[in-house]
């Protein structure tokens, strides 16, 4: 099972970071692989809330639907795929640190990241996505108006 995990410190309190991450409309702003994303329904986000969207990975578009599997403000926010070509669990772990929040983003791709391109593509896709995730987290830190550090 391919895993991508990246962590950085955002110079904002966990509540600010969590609020931004849990607003699905923000996803396409900070995640460069997301073409569009929206929450299904208007209720406040909680466990069971569904979201849908489209990613573009290595030039290919993939539609998805996810469900919030852990909602623990301001500490943890997890999504798991329930529809789409990729079976993935995304974990956002937020820990208070001096002057901000350590955000650890982890994606566990149960079906293999390269499975959508062929099984031999796993290592290539995993390396490319790891670079993309790191850049996305740095963008997130910039959008929240703060310096980031690894």
- Concatenated DSSP letters of 68-130: EEEEETTTEEEEEEEEES--EEEEEEEEEETTEEEEEEEEEETT-GGGGT-GGGHHHHHHHHH
Q: Is residue 129 very low, low, confident or very high in pLDDT (cuts 50, 70, 90)?
A: confident
Residues of the domain holding 64:
3-149
| Mean pLDDT to the nearest integer, 31-56 | 96
pLDDT score for 145: 77
Asked if the model's pLDDT at residue 144 lies above 90, the reply is yes
CATH number of domain containing 82: 3.30.530.20
Q: Is residue 59 very low, low, confident or very high in pLDDT (cuts 50, 70, 90)?
A: confident
pLDDT score for 101: 96
Number of domains comprising the chain: 1
pLDDT score for 114: 47
């Amino acid at each position: 099972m391919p895993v991508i995990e990246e962590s950085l410190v955002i110079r904002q309190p966990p509540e600010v970071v969590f609020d931004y991450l849990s607003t699905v409309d923000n996803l396409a702003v900070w995640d460069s692989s997301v073409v569009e994303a929206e929450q299904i329904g208007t209720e406040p986000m909680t466990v069971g809330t569904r979201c849908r969207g489209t990613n573009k990975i290595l030039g290919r578009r993939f539609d998805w639907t996810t469900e919030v599997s852990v909602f623990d403000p301001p500490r943890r926010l997890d999504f798991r795929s329930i529809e789409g070509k990729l079976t993935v669990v995304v974990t956002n772990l937020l820990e208070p640190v001096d002057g901000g929040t350590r955000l650890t983003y982890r994606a566990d791709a149960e079906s293999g990241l390269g499975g959508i391109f062929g099984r031999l593509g796993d290592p290539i896709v995993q390396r490319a996505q790891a670079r993309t995730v790191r850049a996305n987290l740095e963008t997130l830190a910039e959008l929240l108006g703060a310096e980031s550090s690894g």
